[in-house]
Structure 1
Amino acid sequence: MALAAQDDCGSQGAAIVKNAYPAAQEIPDQGFEVDGATIKVSASADDDPHAVVCRVWPARPELTLVAVPLMTRQSDDSNEGDLELLVVNSSDSAVRQRLRLPHLMNDDALYISSIAFDTARYRLAPGNMAFGLRVSLRGSSRPNPFGETTLWLFRIDDKERLAPVLDSLIVSSNQGEWDTNCAGEFHTTERTLSMVPSAGNAIADIVVDETNTTTISKPDKDGTCTDTGTESSNSYRLHYEASAYRAPEGLKRPE
């Protein structure tokens, strides 16, 4: 039975966890525990960034992509955990590939608000597709709002291993400072990716188109809040070098 195409695992979530982690112990109403980490399986992961997420891969519908948060500590102030990516058969949930990303679920003042698969057609070469993982962070300060989404890309390599080809590219960010009434300044960056042929490489290049917007808000003489905006754009070309794309540091989330 194929999994649902949405970002949730439906009734197959528990079966996937049991296949991937045979030593996992089921915890009533909580999920599973394995090697000191908690795995949460939810009927819908839309509002819970710490629950297992699944998505059928449209480019290869016989495969389903699974993100498993392995949480070792959770509190109101901060969380700690790894994220393990699985590629499983859509028919029987058998694990084909896996890759553990240490500390990816760690957060504190900036909290992880969502984990989602990006299954746009990232065509590296004929017969060679990548898929994306988007990790969104949010801040809790009202006078200093902050939001950011980073993109990772992965492929199944020639040795049938799951391998990262791009990490932590910031595809969306917004931040600002205001008086919580009107006056303030806000900055937004949006980036889109497109695959283009490479002049000297069998693997396609990635063109990143960037739009930056600055908005200044202030009350006019009548006390009405007015916005003034400016916009600029940039473009970057990422080349595939030594098994991965190299992005300028300014485009990536600092480690």
Structure 2
Amino acid sequence: MKPTLFMTLAGLLLATAAQADDCRLQLPGWIEQAHPGHAQDRTLQDERGDYRVDANESICKVWPARPHLTLVASRLVREEHEGYGEADLEVMVFDTARHALVARVVEPNLLDWDAIWVDSMAFDTARYRLRGDDLAFGLRIKRRNGSRLNPFYETTLNLYELGANHLRPVLAELIMERGGGEWDTRCAGEFSDAKYVLIVTVQEGRKGYRDLLLKQTRVDSRRAEVDGECEAVEESTHHQQFHIEYGEERYLLPIELVPI
């Protein structure tokens, strides 16, 4: 690699890391700006009632395609009980340099938990060109349960479109990963693991939004103890595709893709 190219790449990596660190440093102030009084641990109120911002689980990311904007996601907790609760998802966009709130959207009860709870969230800033040259960004939400006998995990993707002064969800809870099974906690059992790849096609549909193609690869397996060793005694791989079209306000999911 030429020295000039190496230095350029190194500079870009350092700049990206610096932006990420700055994002995390600015995050508490941005949350307080959006929810005055949060920093004093007060119970806040809005049109839906009482809530608190779960700052420890809030995340941020400078949007690589639009570095003048920073993405923020927070959990607004409405109810908390032993083992279950209710929480809204709030997604915000801030002006990176001016630290000004550009747009926000709250999705009620999207982060509720019971037997299955939210494990983590992460922004997906792949170049989702859903309509014309407009870029959408994504948020991936990982969920799981706490059962050893019947483990389950799932990752879903939400896509958001930023307008002149508003933020709008255009794709909700698209499954990108799902797996689980039933076993004896030692070896014997049956498992299924599926991974998905999302493709934005060139085919334009309603209101100019491009059709989506979701490709699934699912591996089903059965394990058992053989000569003292735990082995996969039966395994099969399945492939499937799903066509997703835009409806009146957002993309419509086939029934097979609706999250559990």
2:28 matches 1:14 = yes
Cα separation, 1, equivalents of 2:133 and 2:224: 53
Cα separation, 1, equivalents of 2:133 and 2:58: 28
Q: For residues 25 and 164 of structure 1, do their structure 2 counterparts lie closer, same or farther at Cα, with a shift above 3 Å needed?
A: closer
Name the SS of the counterpart of 1:16 in structure 2: helix
2:123 matches 1:109 = no
2:188 matches 1:183 = yes
5+ long unaligned stretches in structure 1: 43-50
The alignment's C-alpha RMSD in Å is 2.2
Shift of 1:126: 3.3
Cα separation, 2, equivalents of 1:66 and 1:3: 17
String of CA shifts for 1:92-147, please: whole Å, max 9, x gaps: 22111110110122101111101111111111133311111111111111011110
5+ long unaligned stretches in structure 2: 1-15
- The letter of the residue matching 2:248 is A
Cα separation, 2, equivalents of 1:117 and 1:203: 22
Q: For residues 136 and 233 of structure 1, do their structure 2 counterparts lie closer, same or farther at Cα, with a shift above 3 Å needed?
A: same
Shift of 1:151: 0.9
Equivalent pairs, count: 239
Greater than 6 Å deviation, 4+ residue runs = none
Q: For residues 53 and 8 of structure 1, do their structure 2 counterparts lie closer, same or farther at Cα, with a shift above 3 Å needed?
A: farther
- The letter of the residue matching 2:157 is L
Q: Aligned match of 2:138 in 127, 132, 135?
A: 132
Aligned 1:166-205 pairs, distance under 5 A: 166-200=171-205, 202-205=208-211
Cα separation, 2, equivalents of 1:75 and 1:54: 27
Shift of 1:167: 0.7
Report the structure, 1 or 2, having the larger helix content: 2
Q: What is the TM-score with the length of structure 1 in the denominator?
A: 0.86
Q: For residues 62 and 174 of structure 1, do their structure 2 counterparts lie closer, same or farther at Cα, with a shift above 3 Å needed?
A: same
With a CA cutoff of 8 Å and minimum separation of 6, indicate the structure with the bigger relative contact order: 1
Name the SS of the counterpart of 1:13 in structure 2: helix
- Name the structure 2 match of 1:45: none
Name the SS of the counterpart of 2:175 in structure 1: strand
Q: Percent sequence identity over matched residues?
A: 35
Shift of 1:211: 0.5
2:31 matches 1:26 = no
Q: Is residue 153–residue 164 contact of structure 1 (8 Å, CA) maintained in 2?
A: yes
- The letter of the residue matching 2:31 is V
